[in-house]
Amino acid sequence: MSECYDAIVVGGGVNGSAISYNLAKRGLKVILLEKDRLASKASSAAAGMLAAQAELEKDGPLFQLAKKSRSMFPNLAVELKERSGIDIELVQKGLVKIASSQAEVQEFQKMMEAQQQAGETVEWMTGKQLCEKEPALSPNLLGGMYIPNDGQLSPFQLSHAFAKSAASYGAEIREFTEVHSFIHRKGKINGVVTGTGKIYGNHVIVAGGAWSDRLLQESGLILKSYPVKGECFSIISPRPLLTATIFSHDCYLVPKKGGRTLVGATSTPDTFDQSVTLEGIHFLIEKAKKLVPVIMAGEWERAWAGIRPQSLDGLPYLGEHPVWKHLWIATGHFRNGILLSAITGELIADMLEGKTVQVDLSAFSIDRVFKTV
Amino acid sequence: MSECYDAIVVGGGVNGSAISYNLAKRGLKVILLEKDRLASKASSAAAGMLAAQAELEKDGPLFQLAKKSRSMFPNLAVELKERSGIDIELVQKGLVKIASSQAEVQEFQKMMEAQQQAGETVEWMTGKQLCEKEPALSPNLLGGMYIPNDGQLSPFQLSHAFAKSAASYGAEIREFTEVHSFIHRKGKINGVVTGTGKIYGNHVIVAGGAWSDRLLQESGLILKSYPVKGECFSIISPRPLLTATIFSHDCYLVPKKGGRTLVGATSTPDTFDQSVTLEGIHFLIEKAKKLVPVIMAGEWERAWAGIRPQSLDGLPYLGEHPVWKHLWIATGHFRNGILLSAITGELIADMLEGKTVQVDLSAFSIDRVFKTV
Amino acid sequence: MSECYDAIVVGGGVNGSAISYNLAKRGLKVILLEKDRLASKASSAAAGMLAAQAELEKDGPLFQLAKKSRSMFPNLAVELKERSGIDIELVQKGLVKIASSQAEVQEFQKMMEAQQQAGETVEWMTGKQLCEKEPALSPNLLGGMYIPNDGQLSPFQLSHAFAKSAASYGAEIREFTEVHSFIHRKGKINGVVTGTGKIYGNHVIVAGGAWSDRLLQESGLILKSYPVKGECFSIISPRPLLTATIFSHDCYLVPKKGGRTLVGATSTPDTFDQSVTLEGIHFLIEKAKKLVPVIMAGEWERAWAGIRPQSLDGLPYLGEHPVWKHLWIATGHFRNGILLSAITGELIADMLEGKTVQVDLSAFSIDRVFKTV
Amino acid sequence: MSECYDAIVVGGGVNGSAISYNLAKRGLKVILLEKDRLASKASSAAAGMLAAQAELEKDGPLFQLAKKSRSMFPNLAVELKERSGIDIELVQKGLVKIASSQAEVQEFQKMMEAQQQAGETVEWMTGKQLCEKEPALSPNLLGGMYIPNDGQLSPFQLSHAFAKSAASYGAEIREFTEVHSFIHRKGKINGVVTGTGKIYGNHVIVAGGAWSDRLLQESGLILKSYPVKGECFSIISPRPLLTATIFSHDCYLVPKKGGRTLVGATSTPDTFDQSVTLEGIHFLIEKAKKLVPVIMAGEWERAWAGIRPQSLDGLPYLGEHPVWKHLWIATGHFRNGILLSAITGELIADMLEGKTVQVDLSAFSIDRVFKTV
C-alpha cells in the first residue's frame, strides 16, 4: 500500500473520531483505524454528561479545558447534524450536584465561591428548593449546587456523528483494524503496522483510550495509566423523571429522551472486564433510590459497563510523543472523555498543523510520565 | 375504576399516537391503550417515506389528504422535538421514482402532467441525469420522475415522539393492555373492556392497524380489510449511498442517518406472520442490486417485517362508526400510515371536537363497508 | 379451507405444545395455533422447577397430579431428544426449601411428616448441613427441607422440544395466528375463526395461559382466572454456585448449565405488563443475597417477566367445556405450568380419546366456575 | 501476583478451551486467558461440521489427525455433558458431498477410491438416490459422495462445554484479559504480561486463532498465517429440511436442532472485518437455492461472520516454539478448528507432559516457518 495519509488516527472512540473530524474538515487526508467497531467501548458506555463544573471542582488547567470544551457543543450539534444527519441529543437543562453530608454542604459552599470567582454560574438550592425544581427528588436531601451550564448529550450519537462527518469530509474509516506497532525513521513517525499490513502517514495520533498503553509501549513509552471499569443501567418511565442531571458523590442520574433515565457509575480500577456484576447493580439501585425514590417504579431496560482510561495524576495526556516526532497522543480522559472530546479534536488538529494553541497545555504534556510520580 | 376519560385511544402505533397527541394537546383527558409495546408492529417496521406523489399517482381525495399531511411534518418535527426531546429525523431531499420499462416511462409522463396540473413539482430525469444526481444508481436505468417534495423520516422516532409528547400534555399511556370489547349504552360508546378491567370514556378511537378488525367486529362492523406483510432489510455503508429516496415498482431504497440504507418491501396479503422469508430477502436483494449495484458492498444489518392494514378499495377508514356514536375509526392506511399520521391525528381530533373539517372525507367514511364491493 | 383436523390446539406455550405432542403421537391430525411465537410468553419466562413437593405442601389432587407429572420427565427427556434433537436440560439434583423464620421451621416439620406419610422422600437439614451440601449458602440460615426428587429443566427447550416433536409426528404449527372465536353447531365445537380465516376440526383445545379467558368468553364461559406477573433475572458465574435448586418463601435460585443461575420471582396480580420494574429487581437481589451471599459477585445477564394464569381456587382448569362438547380447556397452571405439562398433555389426550383416566380430575373440572366462589 | 500456574493457555476459543480441559483434567493448575469473551470469534461462528473425509480429500497427516479427532467426539459428548451439563449437540447422520460438475464427478470417484483404500466408508449416490435420501435436495444434482461418519455439532456449546468442564477440574478462566508479551528467562518461558499485570507459569500455550500472530511476533516468530473471513446465515423451518449435512464446492448446509439450517461460508482472505456483506449473503442464497430449493421458504434468522486462521501450507501449527522451551502453539486450523479440537487438546497435553505421542506431528511442527515457502 504505497498511499500515504496526512494523518493516521488510531482509535475509533469519541476522541479519535473528534480528531479525525477536525483534521478532515481542515482538508487533511485522514484514515481512522479502529480495532473493533466505532465507539464500541467507553464512548458508547458513557452517560454523556458535560459536567465541567460538577466533575472539576476547582480552577486549574483541566477546569479551563473542560469549560472551553463544554461551550463548543451547541455549535457542534448543528454542524454535525448537517454533515451526518445525526442528532447528538444535546440537552442544556443544567445539573444538580447533591450534597450527601453536612461536610459536603460546607465543601460545596467553598467550591461555589471558587467557581463564582472564576466567572461561572452556580447557585445553592435547599432540599425544599430542589424538590420544587425536580419533584422526583427525595424530600430528605440536604441541598445541592445547581449548575445551569452543565449539560449532557448522547455519547453514542456524538461519536458516530464525529466519525460520519469526518467521512463526509473524505476521511477513510477502517473498523476491525488493529494497530500492532509503528513505523518510524530518523526519530519521526512514518506509519503503522496493522494486522493486515502497513499504512503510511505523516502523523499518527493514538487515541485508543484504555487500550492506548499497549500500543505506546511499542514506542518505548510507559504511560502509567490504568483502566477503570464503570457500570451503568437505564430505566424507562412513562414520563420523564427529571429535567436536570442529578449528580452525587456515588451516583448520577441523567434524563434522556423518551422517558429514559441513565444511572451510573461504579468505579473498579485495574480491569478490562466489561461484564456487569450484580454487586454493581445493587450498589447503583441503592444510591439512586435515595436520591430519586420514584425511580423504583421505572421499567428496567439494560445494564452495561465501559472501561475508562485513568492517568496517575488524573489529567489527560494531550500532546506529541516526547521523542518521536509526529506521534501524537490523546488519552487518559477518564470520566471526562465525552466532555473533552470537542476541545481535544480541535487542539490536536491545531498542534499537528503547527498552529499556536491558546490554551496552556503544559499540564497535559506527555513527558510528565518521566517525572517521579 | 370510576375515572372517566374524554377519549380512549385503542392502538399505540403511529396513528393512535398521533391522535392521542392531538387530543391531549387540545386539553382532553386521554388514555392510550396498546396491547403490546408502543410502535411495535407496522409503525416501527415502515421505511418512513413521505411519498405523497410517488405512491398516489393521480389526483383524488387520498392524494389531497397525503399532500396536506406531508406538508405538516416540518412544523411537527420542531414541535415534537421540543415536547419529547425526540428527533423524528425528517429528511427533505426528494424522491426519484424509477421507470422499469418503456411502458412505465410513458405512464410516468402522464402522471407528471397530471401532478403538474394539480400544482405539484415533479420533473423527468434521464438515466444519465439520474447518475449525475445519484452516482450510486445503475447507469442502465431508463430514467425517472424526480419529486423534490417527497421526503422521509424515522417511523419509530415519529411514533414515540407522538406518544411521549402526548404524555407530556397529560395523556396516560398503558402498554400491554388489550381491549376486548366496548361498553355502550343507548347507541353511544361509553368505554372499553380490557384484559384487566373496564375503562370509561366519552369517545373511543380505534387505531389498531391490521388488528382493528377483530375488535370492530365486537361492534357489529365488518371492515373487510386485510393484513399485508411487508419485508425489509437494512445495510450500512461507510458513506451514504444515496441522497434522495429511490422508488421503483418493486422496491425502494431509503437513505437514513449514519450510512444506513433501508430496502423494502415485499407484499404478502392475508397473513399476520411477521417472520422474514429467505425468498423475501432474495427478492429484495435482486431488485435493489439492479437499481443501486454498489449496495452489494454494504454491511448487512438486519431484516424485519411489518403487517399493514389494507382496505378493499385501497382507501383508509377515517370517521365515526355508522351506528354507535362517539366510536371513531382510523385504520386501513396500508403503505401510507406514516405519511398520513399527521393529518389523521388532526382530523380525528377535529371531528371528535365537532369542528368543521375542511377536507372532503366522504371517500374515507366507514359506511362504505355496507355498499357492495 | 375445507381441510378438517382431528384437533385444533390453541396456544403454543408448553401446555399447548405438550398436548399437540401427545395427540400427534397417537396419530391424530393436529394443528397448533399460536398468536405470537411459540413459547414466547410464560413458557419461556419460567425457571423450570419441577417443584412438586416444594410448591404443593400438602396432599391433595394437585399434589398427586404434580408428583405423577414430575415422574414422567426422565423418559420424556429421552423421547423428545430423539424426536427433535432438543435436550430439555433436565437436572435431577434436588431442591432445598429454606425456612425463613422459626414459625416456618415448625410448619416445615409438619409438611415433611405429611409428605413422608404420602410416601415421598424429604429430609430436614440444619443450617450447618445445608452449608456442607451447598457451600454457597449463607451460614446464617435456619435450615430447610431437602427434597431429592424435585428437579428442574429448561422451559424454553421443553416447549420447543414438545412442539418440534409434535411436528415430527405430522402436527402442523402456525405461529402468528390468533383465534378470534369458535365455530360450533348443535352444541358441538366445529372449528375456530382466526385472523386469516376459518379452520375446521373435531376437537378444539384451549391452552392459551393467561390469554385463554378472552377467547373462552366467546363460548359464554367466564373462567374467573387472572394474570400474575413474575419477574426474574439471571447471573453467570465462572463456576456453578449451586447444585440443588434453592427455594424460599420469596425467592428461588435455580442453577442452570454453563454457570448460569436464575433468580425468581416476584408476583404482581392483575396485569399483562411484561416489563420488569427496578423495584422487582431490587426485591429479588435483596432476597437472593440473604440466601446466597456470593451471588453478588456474579455477572448480570438479563431480566425478564412472564404472565402466569392463576385461577381463583389455585387449581388448574383441565377438562371439557361444561356445555359445548369437544371444546377442551387446559389453563390456570399458575406457577406449575412447566411441572404439570407432562401430565396435562397426556390427560387431555386421554380424555379427548375417551379413555378412562386413572387420576381423579374432579377438582380441576371446568364447571366449578359456576359455583359461588 | 506470586502464584505460579503449571500452564497458561492464551485464547478462549474451542482449541484453547480443549487444551485447558485436557490439562486441568490431568491435574495441572491451569489458567485460561481470553482477550474478549469465551468463544466469541471463529469458535462460535463455525457451523460445526466434523467433515474429516469431506474437507480433507486425500490421505496424509492432516487426514489422519482429522479422522482420529472425529472419532473422539461421541465419548467427549458424554464426558462434557457430565462435567458441565452442556449438550454439545453431536449429530452423527453423515454428510453428502455434492458434485457440481462432471469434472467433479470424476474427481470424487478417485477420492472415494483413495478413502476406501484408507479404510474409510464412503459411497456414491446418484442424483436420484440423493433425492430419495434427502427429499429437500434439488432433483437436478449430478450425485455425490455419501460419508456416513462425518457428523456435526454445536461449536458454541462445544467451546463452552470444554471451558466449563476445565473450570470444574479447577482451571481458572479470565475473560477480557489480553496477553501483551511473554516473560522468559534463559530460553524458557516463564509467564505472560497482560493488560492488568504479569502471570507466571511453567508452560504457555498460544491458541489464539487468527489473533495468535501478533502475540507470537513478541517471541520473534513470524507464523506467516493469515485471517480468512467466512460469512454464514441461518434459517428456521417448521420441520427439519435435511438429515445429513450437505456440502458442495461453494456452500454447505448443516441441519441443527429445532428446524434450524446453517448455510456457510464465504471465504475472504486478509481481513479481520467481522461484518457480513450483502454480497456474501446473496452468494450463499444463490448457492443454497441450487442445492436445496425449498430453503427459500425458510424463515430468516440471522447472519454472522468469523475470522479463521489459515497457514501458508494449509496445515495447522501444533508444537513447541522452535527456540523458547515451554512455549506451545496450537493455531492455523482454518476450516477444521472444531473438528481438530478434540485431538488438539489431547496432543498438546501429551506433548507438554512429555508423553510419547503416537501421531506423526512433523508436518505440523512450528519450525517449518523458517523454510522457504
User: Would the CB atoms of B175 and C213 count as touching at under 8 Å?
Assistant: no
Whether the pTM exceeds 0.90: the reply is: yes
* Residues A166 and A214 both lie in one domain: yes
Radius of gyration of chain A (CA): 21
d(CA C191, CA C185): 10
CATH of the domain at A182: 3.50.50.60
Is D7's pLDDT higher than 60?
yes
* Residues B329 and B361 both lie in one domain: yes
Q: Which chains touch D (3 or more CB pairs under 8 A)?
A: A, B, C
Average pLDDT over residues B66-85: 97
d(CA B37, CA B156): 12
Q: Which chains touch A (3 or more CB pairs under 8 A)?
A: B, C, D
Looking at B296, B311, B326, the residue that finishes a domain is B311
User: Would the CB atoms of B271 and C213 count as touching at under 8 Å?
Assistant: no
Is A87's pLDDT higher than 80?
yes
User: Would the CB atoms of D259 and C164 count as touching at under 8 Å?
Assistant: yes
Tell me which chain C residues have a C-beta less than 8 angstroms from the C-beta of D92: none
Is D1's pLDDT higher than 80?
no
- Write down the pLDDT at residue D56: 78
In a domain, C63, yes or no: no
Is B1's pLDDT higher than 60?
no
User: Would the CB atoms of B303 and D300 count as touching at under 8 Å?
Assistant: yes
Please, where are the H alpha helices in chain C?
14-25, 42-45, 52-55, 61-84, 102-117, 127-133, 155-168, 212-217, 278-291, 337-352
* Residues C240 and C123 both lie in one domain: yes
A362 close to D (CB below 8 A): no
Q: How confident is the model at residue D372 (pLDDT cuts 50, 70, 90)?
A: low
C188 close to B (CB below 8 A): no
Asked if residues C303 and C276 have their Cβ atoms less than 8 Å apart, the reply is: yes
A257 close to B (CB below 8 A): yes
- Write down the pLDDT at residue B138: 98
Size of interface A-D (CB pairs under 8 A): 44
* Residues D242 and D299 both lie in one domain: yes
Interface of A with D in 270-289 (CB under 8 A): 270-275
Q: Which residue of D has its CA nearest to B232?
A: D300
Closest CA to C113 of C71, C53, C52: C53
* Residues B167 and B275 both lie in one domain: no
* Residues A362 and A320 both lie in one domain: yes
What DSSP assignment string belongs to A115-152? HHHTT---EEE-HHHHHHH-TTS-TT---EEEETT-EE
| B254 sits in which H/E element | strand B252-255
In a domain, C66, yes or no: no
D292 close to B (CB below 8 A): no
- Write down the pLDDT at residue C56: 78
In a domain, A75, yes or no: no
Sign of CA dihedral A123, A127, A131, A136: positive
Is B359's pLDDT higher than 90?
no
Of all residues in chain D, the percent with pLDDT exceeding 70 is 99
* Residues C138 and C239 both lie in one domain: yes
In a domain, A66, yes or no: no
* Residues A219 and A333 both lie in one domain: yes
Q: Which chains touch C (3 or more CB pairs under 8 A)?
A: A, B, D
B173 close to A (CB below 8 A): yes
Q: Which residue of D has its CA nearest to B281?
A: D300
Of D276, D280, D285, the CB nearest to B278: D285
Of all residues in chain C, the percent with pLDDT exceeding 90 is 94
Of all residues in chain A, the percent with pLDDT exceeding 70 is 99
In a domain, B236, yes or no: yes
Is B57's pLDDT higher than 80?
no
* Residues C161 and C136 both lie in one domain: no
Cell for A123? Answer: 447557585
Of B173, B238, B256, the CB nearest to A173: B238
* Residues C134 and C25 both lie in one domain: no
Query: Can you tell me whether residue D291 is helix, strand or coil?
Result: helix
| Domain count of the fold of chain C | 2
A167 close to B (CB below 8 A): yes
The contacts of residue B302 (CB under 8 Å, 6+ apart) are: B233, B234, D302
- Write down the pLDDT at residue B2: 60
**What is the per-residue pLDDT across B195-250, written as a single tens digit (0 to 9) for each?**
999 999 999 999 999 999 999 999 999 998 999 999 999 999 999 999 999 999 89
Average pLDDT, chain A: 95
In a domain, D262, yes or no: yes
Looking at D283, D311, D339, the residue that finishes a domain is D311
d(CA D209, CA C92): 38
Average pLDDT over residues A92-99: 97
Closest CA to D70 of D91, D39, D43: D91
- Write down the pLDDT at residue C371: 76
- Write down the pLDDT at residue D373: 45
CATH of the domain at C258: 3.30.9.10
Average pLDDT over residues A259-287: 97
**What is the per-residue pLDDT across D101-119, written as a single tens digit (0 to 9) for each?**
999 999 999 999 999 998 9
**What is the per-residue pLDDT across A187-231, written as a single tens digit (0 to 9) for each?**
999 999 999 999 999 999 999 999 999 999 999 999 989 999 999
Of all residues in chain C, the percent with pLDDT exceeding 70 is 99
B294 close to D (CB below 8 A): no
Of B300, B302, B303, the CB nearest to D277: B300
For residue B101, the enclosing domain spans: 92-150+226-311
Of C280, C282, C298, the CB nearest to A277: C298
A214 close to D (CB below 8 A): yes
User: Would the CB atoms of A300 and C282 count as touching at under 8 Å?
Assistant: no
Q: How confident is the model at residue C3 (pLDDT cuts 50, 70, 90)?
A: confident
Q: Which residue of B has its CA nearest to D237?
A: B277
What DSSP assignment string belongs to A184-240? EETTEEEEEEETTEEEEEEEEEE--GGGHHHHHHTTT----EEEEEEEEEEEE-SS-
Of the candidate ranges A7-11, A174-178, C88-92, D217-221, the one whose mean pLDDT is the lowest: D217-221
User: Would the CB atoms of C178 and B272 count as touching at under 8 Å?
Assistant: yes
Tell me which chain D residues have a C-beta less than 8 angstroms from the C-beta of B278: 235, 285, 295-300
Size of interface A-B (CB pairs under 8 A): 42
Strand residue runs (E) in chain D = 4-10, 30-33, 49-50, 95-98, 123-125, 144-147, 151-152, 172-174, 179-185, 188-194, 197-206, 225-236, 245-247, 252-255, 260-264, 268-269, 299-311, 317-320, 327-331
Of C280, C285, C300, the CB nearest to A276: C300
* Residues B240 and B141 both lie in one domain: yes
In a domain, D67, yes or no: no
Is C372's pLDDT higher than 60?
no
User: Would the CB atoms of D85 and C256 count as touching at under 8 Å?
Assistant: yes
User: Would the CB atoms of C285 and A289 count as touching at under 8 Å?
Assistant: no
Query: Can you tell me whether residue C274 is helix, strand or coil?
Result: coil
Average pLDDT over residues C205-233: 95
Average pLDDT, chain C: 95
Average pLDDT over residues C202-219: 96
Asked if residues B364 and B329 have their Cβ atoms less than 8 Å apart, the reply is: no
Residue C176 Cα, gap to closest chain B Cα (Å): 5
Average pLDDT, chain D: 95
* Residues D340 and D298 both lie in one domain: no
The contacts of residue B276 (CB under 8 Å, 6+ apart) are: B231, B233, B303, B304, B305, D299, D300
Is C2's pLDDT higher than 80?
no
Tell me which chain D residues have a C-beta less than 8 angstroms from the C-beta of A197: 270
**What is the per-residue pLDDT across D42-84, written as a single tens digit (0 to 9) for each?**
999 999 999 999 987 778 899 999 999 999 999 999 999 999 9
Looking at C311, C336, C355, the residue that finishes a domain is C311
Of D278, D296, D303, the CB nearest to B298: D278
User: Would the CB atoms of D258 and C173 count as touching at under 8 Å?
Assistant: no
Asked if residues C163 and C32 have their Cβ atoms less than 8 Å apart, the reply is: yes
Cell for B329? Answer: 375509526
In a domain, D101, yes or no: yes
Three-state SS sequence of C67-101: HHHHHHHHHHHHHHHHHHCCCCCCECCCEEEECCC
The ipTM (two decimal places) reads 0.94
Q: Which chains touch B (3 or more CB pairs under 8 A)?
A: A, C, D
